[in-house]
Amino acid sequence: MSIRERLSGNEAAATAMKQINPDVVAAFPITPSTEIPQYFSTFVDNGQVDTEFVAVESEHSAMSACIGAEAAGSRAMTATSANGLSLMWEMIYIASSLRLPIVMSLVNRAVSGPLNIHNDHSDAMGVRDSGWIQLFSETNQEAYDNLIMAHRIAENKDVLLPLMVCQDGFITSHSIENIELIEDEKVKEFVGKYKPEHYLLNKKEPIAIGPLDVQAYLFEHKYQQAEAMRRAKQVILDVAKDFEKMTGRKYGLFEEYRLDDAEIAIVCMNSTAGTTKDVVDALREKGIKAGLLKIRVFRPFPAEEVAKALSHLKAVAVLDKADSLNGVGGALFEDVVSGMYLNKNTVPTVSYVYGIGGRDTTSKEIESVFNDLMEDRKKEKIENPYRYIGLRKE
């Protein structure tokens, strides 16, 4: 029987970590993720977990400690945001290249500069091609559930890649919501024990971790990472099925909200999906066939499945909470239109960049996107596919 609680997103993440009871947690505080290691440190202090908590001097050291712990055969976790993730950048790539299934709670925040502590997705987008699995979370419940599933995915022998669970800084991380927790024993059984096949402290199999990888081998090793990321898609679905059996909560690669008979739709990630659902419901009452596709799994990107889900629409808007600064839209937009093109889907699709630096995005603005789509579907050619929401023009 589930446990009803009221928790912030950060409390939910820390609670999931407590129930997982990893061998090592290494972290350095940075807003808005600071509360996660703060809450977790109290669990260590009062004996609720037997985790080795390592309070390091920087985020670079936090990821380095997690790499060392995981390479030695321990289950390791951390949490960070924005500039903290940037400081980890070198080690983020090393963690994935060493095939170490570290799990991170990433509380999304704008990356400097200029300095901003509020929410957008520039931190996650900056490491989207680093070889980490990326799961996005609309609500506190989803952030909690994704963390419970994370180790089962990352540690699967067909995957062995690190994984980050993303949630929106302040919007969900500091907002209190109703949540259903799973009993500790069920979480323990679901996650299971970490039993790595190869690790440094195995005296029966001496190995080297992170040696020089020159021309003769690096290409093949990067291909192995790419193949592992491709295999991760099915593992994510398999773990989600087991999670549904335990909790009744269903997860896929994405969520389709009133999409089956929709004519126009928005594609987005994280908490913006909640606002969009309200707008979709309001438009449906007016007879407008609006829908939503909420991406949960951004890496590996489910290109074929997304293209199929959107194939019947007359116009699509992709919302990015970070600008790629490439002149042609955001990262999610690029992946969506690439997948649609390769799967011979010719639905008119436009890019909207929004919410940079925590700029509020209102229901009225989301509705304006749907209004634009109703006009776009009438046109043979869309003249301006690269757009912004809430940008002051003066």
- 233-266 residue pLDDT tens: 999 999 999 999 999 999 999 999 999 999 999 9
pLDDT in tens, 73-105: 999 999 999 999 999 999 999 999 999 999 999
Same domain, 266 and 157: no
pLDDT bracket for residue 393 (50, 70, 90): confident
CA distance 136 to 61: 25
pLDDT of residue 378: 87
pLDDT at residue 144 in the model = 98
| Assigned token pair, 53 | 């908590």
Question: How much is the pTM?
Answer: 0.98
In this structure, the answer to whether residues 117 and 240 fall within a common structural domain is: yes
User: How far is the C-alpha of 18 from the C-alpha of 48, rounded, in Å?
Assistant: 7
The 10s digit of each residue's pLDDT in 322-380 is 999 999 999 999 999 999 999 999 999 999 999 999 999 999 999 999 999 999 998 87
Last residue of a domain, one of 218, 247, 276: 247
Give the CATH number for residue 307.
3.40.50.920
Task: For 152-197, write each residue's pLDDT tens digit.
Answer: 999 999 999 999 999 999 999 999 999 999 999 999 999 999 999 9
Note the pLDDT of residue 383: 86
Is 22 a domain residue?
yes
Same-domain pairing of 166 and 63: yes
Domain range for residue 324?
254-388
Residues 221 and 281 in one domain: no
Is the CB of residue 293 less than 8 Å from the CB of residue 267?
yes
- pLDDT of residue 109 exceeding 70, the answer is yes
Average pLDDT of the segment spanning 125-144: 98
Position 44 pLDDT exceeds 80: yes
CATH number at residue 67: 3.40.50.970
Identify the pLDDT of residue 1: 64
Q: How far are the Cα atoms of 51, 65, 100, 208 from residue 202, in angstroms, in the given order?
A: 21, 19, 16, 11
